[in-house]
Amino acid sequence: MEVVKIMTKEKFQSFWNKFGTLCILIVLFIAFSIGSPKFFPQPANLIQCLLQSTVYILLAFGEFFAILLGGIDLSVGAVACFSGIIVADLSLQGVPPFICLIIGLLGAVLFGFINGVLINALDLHPFVVTLGTNTIFRGICLVMTGGNPLFNLPKWVKGLSTYIVGIPKPVIYAAVIGVILVAFTTKTVAGRNLYALGGNKQSAWYSGINIKKYTVLAHILSGLFAGIGGIVMLARVGAAEPTAGDGYETYAIAACIIGGASLFGGKGRIWGVVLGGITIGTINNGLNIMNVSAFWQKIVMGSLIIASVALEKLISNKVKK
């Protein structure tokens, strides 16, 4: 409290804006360290924790662009599953790895494109459109696999998620993509236009920004990162399940919101999304370590998501008053 008193309200607000998610993460870290001092804070587990976070982070990257425009994408879980199935299927047919990955990602991008085009053409809220396409995409996954998992995949698939100098490759992928996206959102004209569009669609239109094309772009990006997330999931599991990623859209959305993105659009940072994803991964990991049953984990996870966002709102409201 001493810190709060010293800082002015505005300063505290801007501090919380920048570091709020980090504070929540630190609180969780301390809580789990107290709960399981022998296992949780160990370096090996922390790396594991990061690895668990990568899929959430990657899906949240995509979700972030949909949310940035004031929309949402409920289909990221199904899109992730789809790209995994394509890569698995092609790899079983002996297609070279690079081509498998490209086609898998193109499939995910295509799904994102379909979302964007439908939102524009039907002039419907992204919630409704992606609620529908989520089920359709999931159905396509089930039809393609006949409902059975694809396994006995070539070795290179698992090789996508091995370690380099003690760091899991997926963590490196996420880090590299994160850096690229930070640059994209803060340094490019297209990135800034997405924020403008999220802030006020009509002002953006009257400033010369093409609303429809940018909506498609946001959903293509959403599809692309869901696809990358799906391939990482595939590599970690070593098999393509037609139900993989089911419900992951909630984690992706939660990661964005915890990371400071606003559902009204125009607000949020990639850096925050990364921390949001790590928060979800940490909750997951910490509860596992503390031997909380998988059933209870869901209840705790949901409550923590609400609590962390409520805390954020509580603090920013307090500051405003």
Partner 1 sequence: MEYLKMNNITMKFPGVVALDNVSFDLKLGEVHVLLGENGAGKSTLVKILSGINTPTSGEITINGKAVSNLTPKESADNKIAIIYQELSVVDNLSIAENMFLGKLPTKKKMGITVVDREFMYAESEKYLKEIGLKKNPSTLVQDISISEKQQVEIAKALCSNAKVIIMDEPTSSLSIDETKNLFKIIGHLKKNNIGIIYISHKLPEIKEIGDRVTILKDGKYVKTLNISDLEVKDLVPLMIGREIKDKFVGTKREIVPDEQPTFVVKNLTRKDGTCKNINFEVYKGEILGFAGLIGAGRSECMEGIFGAKTISSGEVYYNGKKLEIHNPYDAMKQGIAMVTENRRETGFFPNFPIWKEIAVSTSLKKSTLGGFTGMVQTKSEKNIAEKFTKKLNTKCTGINQMTYNLSGGNQQKVIISKWLAVNSNIFIFDEPTKGIDVGAKSEIYAIMRSMAEEGKTIIMVSSEMPELLSTCDRIIVFRDGEISGILNSDEATEEKIMLAAVHLN
Contact positions toward partner 1, by CB under 8 A? 186-193, 195-196, 198-200, 202-210, 213, 217, 266-267
Nearer to partner 1, 18 or 298 (CB): 18
For partner 1, the closer CB: 2 or 10: 10
Matching residue, tokens 């990371």:
259
CB-CB contact of 252 with 72 (8 Å): no
The CA distance from 131 to 100, in Å, is 28
Q: Name the residue nearer to partner 1 (CB basis): 236 or 267.
A: 267
In the complex, what is the shortest distance from the CB of residue 310 to partner 1, in angstroms, rounded to a whole number? Answer: 23
Please, is 317 exposed, middle or buried when counting C-beta atoms within 10 Å of its C-beta (0-12, 13-18, 19+)? Answer: exposed
The answer to whether 24 and 258 have CB atoms below 8 angstroms apart is yes
Q: What pairs with residue 240 in β-bridges? A: 150
Residue 73 DSSP one-character state: -
Residues with Cβ within 8 Å of 124's Cβ and at least 6 positions away in sequence, in order, are 118
Least separation in angstroms between CB 307 and partner 1: 26
Q: Region of 136 please: left (phi>0), alpha (psi -120 to 50) or beta.
A: alpha
Q: How many CB atoms lie within 10 A of CB 241?
A: 21
Q: State the nearest-atom distance from the C-beta of 96 to partner 1, in Å.
A: 31
Task: Measure the CA–CA gap between 196 and 63, rounded to whole angstroms.
Answer: 17
Q: Which is nearer to partner 1, 138 or 201 (CB)?
A: 201
- Looking at the Cβ atoms of 200 and 297, the one nearer to partner 1 is 200
> Please, what is the minimum distance in Å from the beta carbon of residue 35 to partner 1?
39
Nearer to partner 1, 115 or 185 (CB): 185
Find the largest Cα–Cα distance for the chain. Answer: 65
**Minimum gap (Å) between residue 249 Cβ and partner 1:** 25
Q: How far is the CB of 200 from partner 1 (least distance, A)?
A: 5
